[in-house]
Amino acid sequence: MKAINDYVIVNPIKEEPKSVGGFIITENTTKDIRYLKGSIISCGNFTEGISESNIIYYDKHAGHSVIVDGAQYLVIRQRDIVLVEN
């Protein structure tokens, strides 16, 4: 599978609940977090500054889901990526 134009195919990363000061932060507590984490599977031919296997943060309202060979991925535009981890 290959992304085209300015699209990016992302495998969302589900983060484990975190503990802060002995309290466990659950998904309900983190509902107001705007950006989610994912791993890039494929970059389109017009994308810049990102590459496959980069870990990114993207807007949680961005893109749409696709199912390929039983696995669910997210297709987003590059402009919805807010940061790339090194």
Domains in the chain: boundaries: 7-84
What's the pLDDT tens digit per position in 21-63? 777 666 555 567 789 999 999 999 999 999 999 999 999 999 9
The whole model's pTM is what? Answer: 0.80
Residue 83 and residue 55 in contact, taking contact as beta carbons nearer than 8 Å: no
Helix, strand, coil % (nearest 5) of the chain?
Answer: 5, 50, 50
Pick among 3.40.605.10, 2.30.33.40, 3.40.30.10, 1.25.40.10: CATH of 7-84: 2.30.33.40
- Using DSSP's 3-state secondary structure scheme, residue 74 falls into strand
Span 63-86, average pLDDT: 94
**Contacting residues for 27 by C-beta, under 8 A, at least 6 apart:** 17
Around Cβ 52, how many Cβ atoms within 10 Å?
12
Q: What percent of the chain has pLDDT over 90?
A: 74
